[in-house]
Amino acid sequence: MPLDNQLAAVLQGFAALAEPDWASLDARQFRQQADNQMPPLAGADMAEVRELEVDGAAGPLAARLYRPVARRDLPLLVFFHGGGFVIGNLDTHDSLCRTLALETQAVVVAVAYRLAPEARFPAPPQDCYAATCWLVAQAEQLGFDASRLAVAGDSAGGNLAIAVSRLARERRAPLIRHQCLFYPVTDAACDSASYSEFAEGYLLSRAMMGWFWRQYLPSSEQVDDPLASPLRDDNLAGLPTTTVLTAEFDPLRDEGEAFAERLRAAGVAVRLERCQGLVHGFANLAPFVEAASRALLGAAADVRRALN
């Protein structure tokens, strides 16, 4: 299928941007530039939006709670933003989290985990797991039903959602009912066919993803660590039911789909959808691209069913 027409128009706005020199790029400078590239979007109205401080693995982390309606018995969806483990924040994904809260009818809490290279692997997955455990423990005070718990994330955030599910399985708590993964990062090798097919020109490039991994992993030996590369996990049994959305024109497409197939082979119930005509990062483009909005609403419906 060709590139979605509305998405092609959005990509035109990025076409004039010069590709950074990935060999010498400073992560902090790139973060400042990338996180302010898109103007803030208003997003859906919420009954409550509250700034939180949650426990991470090594200290407090910022988080943001979204309550779609004024009830204290809603389920909980913990969200981890994408950005290659290096960029992204609560504001870059604010509109997306509002949509997820509205459409899932869950309290969404977005967690600002520590970023690389200042905090390299395994700090981010440890942060995300610790924050999820803290939120479950604080359910009564914060006003949601943590017995109905899901995790979600886009790109690197999808990788971290998988890590939280794996750690919860290993440590037998908390009980996670569903994981919702938008074009997840699942393999540090960066050697799938889609990496070659869509190496450049579709927002996320092969060179950019390689740079992200170099910021994130302290050692090349950690490429095989299943907490970093969940596709390399020998045992995926016992993970929660899963939604995986991939984008047709995305270097990460094949590894996301391979992960979904590995889950199925391990006995996990999975809905995999390749979103035709779309590129990496489409969930954040849903306000501008109808096809992206439809895909996002379909994933939110999966979460809502799993939590009810």
- Chain segment 235-254, per-residue pLDDT in tens: 999 999 999 999 999 999 99
Strands (E), the chain: 48-55, 60-67, 75-80, 107-111, 145-154, 178-182, 241-249, 270-279
Q: Write out pLDDT tens, residues 202-237.
A: 889 999 999 999 999 999 999 999 999 999 999 999
Report d(CA 187, CA 189) in Å as an integer.
5
Active site residues: 155, 250, 280
Residue 160, SS3? helix
Domain range 5-307, CATH architecture: 3-Layer(aba) Sandwich (3.40)
Task: For the full predicted model, state whether its pTM sits above 0.95.
Answer: yes
Per residue in 257-297, pLDDT (tens digit) is: 999 999 999 999 999 999 999 999 999 999 999 999 999 99
Please say if the pLDDT value at position 134 is more than 80.
Answer: yes
CA proximity to 61, closest of 70, 50, 51: 51
Residues 219 and 202: their CA atoms lie apart, in Å, by 28
pLDDT band at 16 (very low <50, low <70, confident <90, very high): low
| Residue with more model confidence, 30 or 7 | 30
Q: Residue type for 281, please?
A: G
Band the pLDDT of 10: cuts 50, 70, 90. confident
Determine the average pLDDT of the residues in 123-134. Answer: 98
What are the residues facing 48 on neighbouring strands?
67
Give the residue among 65, 132, 129, 130 at the shortest CA–CA distance from 100. 65
Task: Give the tokens for residue 106.
Answer: 């869950």
